[in-house]
Structure 1
Amino acid sequence: MRINTFLRLLLLNIACLLTLDIHAQPAGAHEDHFLYQIKPGETLSSLSETFTSKQSNWKAIQKSNRIANTRKVPIGMTLKIPFSLIDEEPDQAKVLYLTGNVLVNNQPIDKNRVIAEADTIITGTQSNITLVLSDESKVQIPPDSTVLVKRLRKFRGTGLIDAIFNIETGKLAAHASPKKTGVGRFEIRTPVSITGVRGTVVRAEASQQAGSSSELLNGKAAFIAAASRDQSVHLNANQGITATPKGQAGDIIELLPPPEIQLKQSSPFEFKVAIQPVTGATSYLVRVSNDISGYDVLFTETVKKPEARVTGPGKGTYYVSVRSIDSNQLAGADAVQPFTITATSIMTETGVSIGTQSGPLIQTHY
């Protein structure tokens, strides 16, 4: 009896694993359709049940894909499933890191706030917020940015994310689907472009004067400019692209490599950063973070000369990251090094060092 019970449990566990594997073939989105690559053993009715909660929707899926013979649907075919049919539920994002003055719907927030669909996030100078979605995707909004959470939902049957972030001005960085389970839809939009990603590390920027840009650091992405919405440009790792204020896409550009950096301590609370010049770089973005991945950002500065000075909010180890920026204002990957502060600077309530003409104020008695 115990053996039979064990076998039933074992078979149930195997079935669950197979089900997860079957569902792990999302291929992103295109316009109003979720894209899915068909696997062996799957049918239109089974996929309809999984993604729309109704087997009867297979006929609508068949029509959308112009499939003549439902018994001979090719394995590996990219199936288009209308988002209007997919059974979704509201999702939320948690605040993972928060620095400085960040507003949500024009109200100050703290780390306990959850972010939902239709929220507008505004970051002030030297402010940063990093969100984590329910599939562990991360979204980082750096200083001086305004971002609307246009859509934040998930598929009821699979938990895949359906997220759209509109950058009104400023920047946004994202690591979509870090567990490589794929996404239903993950788009970063600006007034003149759309960047669609999956399993990807990407940055995007919007500016009324310059238009928009996207930088792909890992994975693959599709970039669609407003002037040619029926044509998408496919980006590979370490590639970037821009669009003019009128929505005209530029050429694909190879991103600059991370610079070599050297740190030298100049005082108990400060380090000098020497940046080895990178050919083609017009400036460098310097950031200080609490974490090596650069999500918990404390300080950001763009310098034209290959040098900078960095500090931290108190005793401890921090991380300085430097990326090269080219004449198109596209930035490459970060060079990262740790540094340790042995004195404590005095901070404001929002987590920013209080500075003077000779540097930050420091606490000398503990």
Structure 2
Amino acid sequence: MHTPYAVATASRDDSLDFSKAGCGNEGRGSAMAVVAAIATAVALFGTSSAGAQTRFDARATAAYVTVAGDTLYEVAQRYLTDTGGWRALALLNHVSAPRRLPAGMTLRLPLALLRRDSTPVSIVALSGLVTARMRGSSAGAGASPSVPLLAGRILGENDSISTGSDGFATLELDDGSYVSLAPNSRIMLSILRKMALTGIEDHVIELQRGEVSNEVTHAKRPEDRFEVRTPSIVAGVRGTRFRVNELPSMTAVEVLDGTVAVGTSAKAGQDKAAADSAASQFVSAGRGSATPNGGAVGVPQPLLAAPRLVDPGKVQDGKVVTFNIEPAPSAGGYRVQIARDADLLDLIRDARVQAPSATFSDVPDGTYFVRVSAIDAGGLEGLPRVYAFERRANELSASAAHRAGSHEYRFAWRASRADPATRFRLVLSRHRDLRDPIVDAVDLAESSLVVSDLPAGEYYWRALSEQYEGGRFYETIGPVHAFTLAK
């Protein structure tokens, strides 16, 4: 009685032990022949993605259950890189009649021979100058020129994307992962593939300059791969959020969720597998590593805690948008980013500052989200905190002048946001903190007020505007002014 063949799943450790199929000692020789045949097929037919030949050995297979009418040639045509691979399938599966496959038969298809189809990448958000060079063309003669990108553009394997000093871009991969480029960054989409039959995803991003933030969909299969490579390191993940920043003297990896395996990049003449595994470090959530150029992978260390904003609910109504940060211990600087969405995929501003304050100009009215993080002395960016805020510009200018030949002082003000229903308030005091006001005039419809018979001395004052819009009350508080009234 014939013993059914064992089903081989997509596992690198699967051994082709034909003794389970009743082959005995002779089966071991057949197994060696199968491995040799598959290796030969890989060499002859190759694969459709760079570096894919080294990902799977000849013993890693996936199962396919035949249906009525299947032939080995059709299976090879449907799933393999080259139809000539049917010979390796016949040897591996002991098929003597490749044109007559019974329905319900489980075939083992080597992963190394399965077709790898290219997958698209779409631009889901961008701001500022973002360009692309198609199909990885170089800057040499006959190269494809860089072209400006627009949201919705579809890119593919070996395309390069660059951002200018004001440029931001977020790419969505076919599995729902996101890659966001910071200003002054460049990446190449080195590998974008999905394996036939198995659905195994293979994504490799080369960071050539600057920084990328990644939100990677959790891997569904052990063989799924998402890597970010720089000249110094290789960062591999299985579903996580992390940043990679290629700096002049080092590469920083900061993990916000999940775990990232960080290894050194292969050098000329060095075996890639050995380079990827040598001195590798696993960096878990809330930790980061700094790898010096040409050096060993940095030891993981804790990231700084997320800082807090001062008065985060304040409406940003001034000429510029300003965020003040509560100083964080051990911080050597701060990063402040503004986006149109809560996930900060659609970024529009990005600033690194030493002092705990950041200012942005030319931000249109609207609802935005700000992300703040602290940067340690070694250059690692810490954990972020996100706030929503409203931008509603309403600059309030004010002046005060003594009327010549009188004991009167005229206070005037103007709101940049025209609204006939605007009301103003004037507060005048002898104290810098405006306590115990001499004048506290409210609900003023006019843009000025005259105060008479002020005694000599120092005075402090400010104007405020009050507006209602969309059922909400808005108060714009002007700065404190001062003047001295001589005797």
Cα pair 2:256 2:285 within 8 Å, conserved: yes
Which residue identity does 1:238 align to in structure 2?
G
Larger C-alpha radius of gyration, 1 or 2?
2
Give the aligned partner of residue 32 of structure 1: 54
Q: Distance in 1 between matches of 2:91 and 2:237?
A: 29
Aligned-pair CA distance for 1:233 = 1.0
Please tell me whether the aligned partners of residues 45 and 57 of structure 1 are also in contact (alpha carbons under 8 angstroms). Answer: no
User: What is residue 199 of structure 1 aligned with on the other side?
Assistant: 239
User: How much does 1:110 deviate?
Assistant: 1.0
Q: Which amino acid aligns with 2:384?
A: D
Aligned mates of 1:131, 1:230 — CA distance in 2: 29
Q: Counterparts of 2:211 and 2:259 in 1: how far apart (Å)?
A: 19
Match of 2:286 among 224, 238, 262: 238
Q: In the aligned structure 1, how far is the partner of 2:349 from the partner of 2:193?
A: 32
Counterpart pick for 2:151 among 111, 114, 121: 111
Distance change (3 Å), C-alpha of 1:154 and 1:116:
same
Residue 328 of structure 1 deviates from its aligned partner by: 2.0
CA distance in 2, matches of 1:175, 1:58: 42
Aligned amino acid, residue 277 of structure 2 = D
Task: List per-residue Cα deviations over 1:175-222 (Å, max 9, x = no partner).
Answer: 1115x5357211100001100011111111213x31212111111111
Residue 46 in structure 1 maps to residue 96 in structure 2: no
**Aligned match of 2:307:** 259
2:391 is aligned, of 316, 341, 348, to 341
In structure 2, the residue matched to 1:126 is 166
Distance 1:46 1:149 in 2: 30
CA distance in 2, matches of 1:145, 1:190: 12
Specify whether residues 82 and 288 from structure 1 end up closer, same or farther in structure 2 by C-alpha distance, changes over 3 A only. farther
Q: In 2, Cα distance between the equivalents of 1:200 and 1:249?
A: 20
Per the TM alignment, residue 82 of structure 1 is displaced from its structure 2 partner at its CA by 8.4
Q: CA deviation at 1:128?
A: 0.4
* Residue range with higher mean Cα deviation, 322-331 or 156-165: 156-165
The answer as to whether partners of 1:288 and 1:318 remain within 8 angstroms in 2 is yes
Residue 136 (structure 2) pairs with residue 88 (structure 1): no
Match of 1:170?
Answer: 210
Q: Which residue of 1 aligns with 2:128?
A: 100
CA pair 84-253 structure 1, distance change in 2 beyond 3 A: same
Instruction: Classify 1:141/1:248 alpha carbon distance in 2 versus 1 (closer, same or farther; 3 Å).
Output: same
Is the Cα–Cα contact under 8 Å of residues 215 and 332 in structure 1 kept in the other structure? Answer: yes
CA offsets 1:243-296 (integer angstroms, 9 cap, x no match): 111132221111111101123446355443221222221111100100111110
Change in 2 beyond 3 A, CA 1:120/1:266: closer
Q: Which stretches in structure 2 are left out of the alignment for 5+ residues?
A: 1-8, 11-50, 67-74, 81-85, 93-108, 134-145, 267-274, 396-415, 420-487
Local SS of the residue matching 2:161: strand
Deviation at 1:324, TM superposition (A): 1.1
Corresponding position: 1:215 with 2:254 = yes
TM-score, normalised by the number of residues in structure 1: 0.71
Give distance in 1, aligned partners of 2:128 and 2:160: 17
Alignment of 1:285-324 (within 5 A): 285-310=335-360, 313-324=363-374
The Cα RMSD (Å) is: 3.6
- Contact preservation (8 Å) 2:315, 2:391: no
> Given that residues 281 and 299 in structure 2 are in contact (C-alpha distance below 8 angstroms), is that contact kept between their aligned partners in structure 1?
no
Q: Which amino acid in the other structure matches residue 195 of structure 2?
A: F
Q: 1:335 to 1:47 in 2, by over 3 A?
A: farther
Number of aligned residues: 297
Task: State the 1:226 CA deviation.
Answer: 3.6
| Aligned CA distance change for structure 1 residues 193 and 256 (closer, same or farther; 3 Å) | same
- CA offset digits 1:27-86 (Å, max 9, x no partner): xx9993369xxxxxxx95527999x946956998xxxxxxxxxxxxxxxxxxxx987434
Which segments of 5 or more consecutive residues in structure 1 lack a partner in the other structure? 1-21, 24-28, 36-42, 61-80, 346-362
Greater relative contact order, per chain length (Cα 8 Å cut-off, separation 6+): 1
Q: Quickly say closer, same or farther: Cα 1:211–1:223, change in 2 above 3 A.
A: same
Q: Mark the CA change 1:197 to 1:47 in structure 2 (over 3 Å): closer, same or farther.
A: farther
2:63 is paired with a residue whose SS is helix
Alignment CA distance shift 1:344-1:138 (3 Å) = farther
Distance change >3 Å, CA 109–CA 333, structure 1 → 2? same
Hey, what's the Cα distance between the residues in 2 that align with 1:58 and 1:140? 45
Amino acid at match of 1:220: T
Identity %: 26
1:281 corresponds, among 331, 334, 339, to 331
TM-score of the aligned structures, taking structure 2 as reference length: 0.54
2:179 pairs with 1:151? no
| Pair 1:59–1:197, CA change in 2 (3 A) | farther
SS at match of 1:154: strand
Q: Which residue identity does 2:305 align to in structure 1? A: P
**Equivalent residue runs for 1:63-74 within 5 Å:** none
Counterpart CA distance in 2 for 1:167 and 1:271 is 31
Q: Distance in 2 between matches of 1:274 and 1:45?
A: 56
Matching residue's letter, 1:341: R
